[in-house]
A and B are shown apart, each in its own frame.
Chain A
Amino acid sequence: MSTSTPATDGPPAVVLSGITKRFPGVVANSDVHLTVRTGEVHALCGENGAGKSTLMKILYGMQHPDEGTIEVAGKAVRFRSPADAIRAGIGMVHQHFMLADNLTVQENVVLGAEALHGIGGRARKVILDLAKSTGLTVDPAVLVERLGVADRQRVEILKVLYRGAKVVILDEPTAVLVPQEVDELFATLRAMQQQGFTFLFISHKLDEVRAIADSVTVIRRGTTVGTADPKAVSSRQLAEMMVGSELPSPETRESTVTDRVVLRVEGLGLVAEEGTRPVLDGIDLVVRSGEVVGIAGVEGNGQTELVETIMGMRRAHHGRVLLADRDVTRLGTLARREAGIGYVPEDRHRQGLLLTQPLWANRVLGHQTREPVAKGPWLDLAGAKRDTERIVADFDVRTPGIDVPAAALSGGNQQKLVVGRELSGDPVLLIASHPTRGVDVGAQALIWDEIKAARARGLAVLLISADLDELIGLSDTIKVMLRGRLVADADPASVTPEDLGSAMTGAGSTSAAVAELGGGE
């Protein structure tokens, strides 16, 4: 069933045939077939909840298939645990990094594989050699909590290689990277491919799949739809295979920007630790009614702090925040929310939802003082449930009911719930941090549509995103953030992701390409 470029002869690296996996109430995988040839980069595409993760967990021994067989390098295998998979030469880089922050890089790498080279100097030497031969340079002695995202990913890949894996599963490896880092990662992968490594690349970013993969298998609703040659099909065709419908686009057509200022930030400054560089430095920002202002920036350059300062979760050291001419600098978070700020946090698990609580309880969060979930000093549970039903219907949250815990929903549906909640109660300003991170194409389209519709109704939106296409498509104005400062403006009508990317890393921020394009204010 596969069609495209081979790398070496011999039996395929991995063959999955007829894999079926049932969980109580759902069939996660049914009759999945997948053939990965040795030395290729094989992409696995599908919406969130389509069953990619379960399939990879089966291949990595974390789940056991109810039916079907697994062959690795021509031999049938049964994995009882990840240790078995590792022994068979399969390694996995998880989407959410599996690293212990308080251990060093070396400790993280050798953990579980101490028998190979011990945990001391010998292991260190092996790690350095590996790093050198693959280009995954990182200092083994440093604590993981000090590392940025791209470095953590390198550690994850090193971990897998250290165990002697020849087949590496990469679960959405680019979700957290900026374009330049993605390019680096791809360069690394290609170099390693030359050395005989095989990669299984899970993604729903189709451009990237087409850039790196030798063949691509699409999975939809738990079963494989087919395998294609990425050089021969377009992104649109792939997307249609994935969702079976038309491709959404973040593009907004006509401007709805008015001249009524909703949010004005003046000279905002924030110092995280005494004596260090400020994380926010003299931020001036205006968001008008009907306007989407996008903030571009590599993660860790102050976007999180900016949002949290505007939300009142951190106290600004300098400057003011005005919401429709009202100074809210000294107000707490709840008061700011009551004043009409909606907030889609960057990490819905950490800040947006109580995973173990039912959906209607999550509806109450942040609205606990307002209609329709509260009446005077009391919570209005009936009202909360009614309004949750409304969100579930209007935002197409796919759930068996509003009494299931939030954890039971897929990422996309959780995010739809959060967006629905934050757009409730007629906010005047929406702060959206990575609103479509880690959600599938369908949910992404819906969230984009809702933001666009709210914008058309006059909502002011402050958008932070690592997805540059989303940022360019949705925004009316883009500002580039670097080391706690807004360093450049960009015009979404003409800027390219590459321009933005180089401005974000500081490489081209002064090259004036972006600043000249910009006509922000």
Chain B
Amino acid sequence: MNPSEAPATVPPPRKSRRLPGWAVGVLGVAGAVVLLSTTSYLTGVPQLTSTGTIQTAVRLALPILLAGLGGLWAERAGVVNIGLEGMMIMGTWGAAWAGYQWGPWAALVAAAVFGALGGLLHAIATVTFGVNHIVSGVAINLLGAGLTKYLSTLVFFPLSHNPRESPAVPKFDTYSAPGLSEWLGDLEAQQRVGLSDVAGILRGLVTGVSPLTMLAIALVVGSYLVLWRTRFGLRLRSCGENPVAAESLGVNVYRHKYAAVIASGALAGIGGAALVLNPGQPGYLEGQTNGRGFIGLAAMIFGNWRPGGLLGGAALFGYADGLQLRSGGKTFLALVYGAVLLLAVIVVWQLVRRRWFAAAGGIVAAVALYAVYYSVDEVPSELTTYAPHLVTLIVLAVASQRLRMPAADGVVYRRG
């Protein structure tokens, strides 16, 4: 008896060129920094890596990150949560309602509760009643928008005299790393190639940090630990991969799906709170989320249903948004130049791998983008407003081919 000698049924192991996840992350971050500082140097637009841009990017990335994290929880348990947007909207209302009365921490809690209620509704529909996940999600999006409209007319109108707006909500105090922040500021001001760019980015990350940012980062790490390092997480993920198998092993699939979708709603709700508690906003505003729940979903898909990748996706979208908001069309044009550089690298890589077709496609795209860069002085503001959406579209079109979603994601599971 020697079971190891049955080679023919075992597919040959693929070449072990896979790097561990953290190494990919470090390489990705390093690559992004190199790309940005090169672009900044070649185009002479220092705003690309300035402290202010990064700070704005972080603030704008938070709602997307939290929404994406919500999506991660739900989809890892096999429930497609396209209702993130609606849960986020409910979160914004809850945050404003509790926030103007009892302060930012209460706002966070209320947002989580309101989002979780949306999640609960989604769970009841999809898990208990087997409604198609997309249908239920769309319904929740409509419901979230409609319900908050009603509630804000009812509650906020007497206070703010505007049915579309809440009274001002107090914000969190922000914190900076003492010493480090000033030193990095000096370094940035010297305008040295590369070094100042890194300093600007780091300074943006350690200056004026809101507790919300720290909470979001903690939630990313926490989600990873819970989902991949605990028994609960293993069971939850098994529901997204093969619920029949999980049930046969005594896992209560319904309960885990409920837990996951409710957590998902709570996270999306906190994402809504991040919008309301953004220093740039007075409080609740109708239409405030502006599709960020969907962008969060896109960030999660871009991140291959992993927390680390999701962080990268959220950073990308936040950065694109922050850049256009802060510096306008001219700076955004520099980003187009950066995209040309990135494409050039990709084309070389594809040529090395002898993928002629992909390489040709890359060249065509690069030439087209460069023509845009060369021919216009400034991207019109009508277009830059949609920068995050455009980036979403392009990134998903390019990246969606090698992704591995949970095997039973979106499949309605019936017990027995």
Residues of A within 8 A of B (CB): 62, 81-83, 86, 92, 94, 98-103, 107-108, 110-115, 118-119, 135-137, 146-151, 154, 159, 178, 180-181, 184, 187-188, 191, 274-277, 298-301, 482, 504-506
Contact = CB atoms under 8 A, between A and B. Distances in A.
B249 A181 contact: no
9 nearest A-B pairs in the assembled complex, by CB-CB distance: A112-B249, A148-B9, A100-B241, A98-B245, A83-B250, A114-B231, A298-B8, A187-B1, A100-B242
B238 A111 contact: yes
Which secondary structure dominates chain A's binding surface? loop
A118 B231 contact: yes
Contacts of A301: 8
Contact of A135 (B3, B9, B12, B234): B3
A99 B244 CA distance: 9
Contact of B250 (A81, A94, A149, A181): A81
A22 B336 CA distance: 67
Given A100-B241, A107-B234, A188 B3 contact: yes
Given A82-B250, A112-B251, A504-B8, A136 B3 contact: yes
B250 A151 contact: no
Contacts of B404: 102
Interface residues of B, number: 37
B235 interface: yes
A436 B66 CA distance: 51
A481 B173 CA distance: 70
Interface in B1-43: 1-4, 6-14
Contact of A101 (B237, B248, B407): B407
Contacts, number: 119
Contact of B8 (A92, A103, A115, A300): A300
12 contacts: A82-B248, A98-B242, A99-B242, A100-B237, A101-B242, A103-B237, A113-B249, A150-B9, A151-B9, A154-B3, A180-B6, A482-B8
B122 to A, nearest CB: 23
Given A112-B251, A178-B8, 16 more contacts: A81-B250, A92-B248, A98-B244, A98-B248, A100-B238, A100-B245, A102-B406, A112-B246, A112-B249, A118-B231, A119-B229, A146-B14, A159-B249, A277-B12, A301-B8, A506-B8
Nearest to A299: B9
Contact of B11 (A92, A94, A148): A148
Interface of B: 1-4, 6-14, 229-231, 234-235, 237-238, 241-242, 244-251, 353-355, 404, 406-407, 416
Given A110-B234, A148-B9, A298-B9, A100 B251 contact: no
Given A98-B245, A146-B13, A184-B3, A114 B250 contact: no
B242 to A, nearest CB: 4
B256 to A, nearest CB: 11
B1 A188 contact: yes
B3 A149 contact: no
Contact of B241 (A102, A114, A137): A102
Contacts of A181: 6, 9
A119 B248 CA distance: 18
A159 B246 CA distance: 12
Nearest to A83: B250
Contacts of A298: 8-9
Contacts of A151: 9-10
B231 A119 contact: yes
B5 to A, nearest CB: 9
Contacts of A103: 234, 237-238, 241
A107 B230 CA distance: 11
Contact of A114 (B2, B6, B8, B234): B234
Nearest to A190: B1
A506 B245 CA distance: 34
A119 B10 CA distance: 26
A505 B8 contact: yes
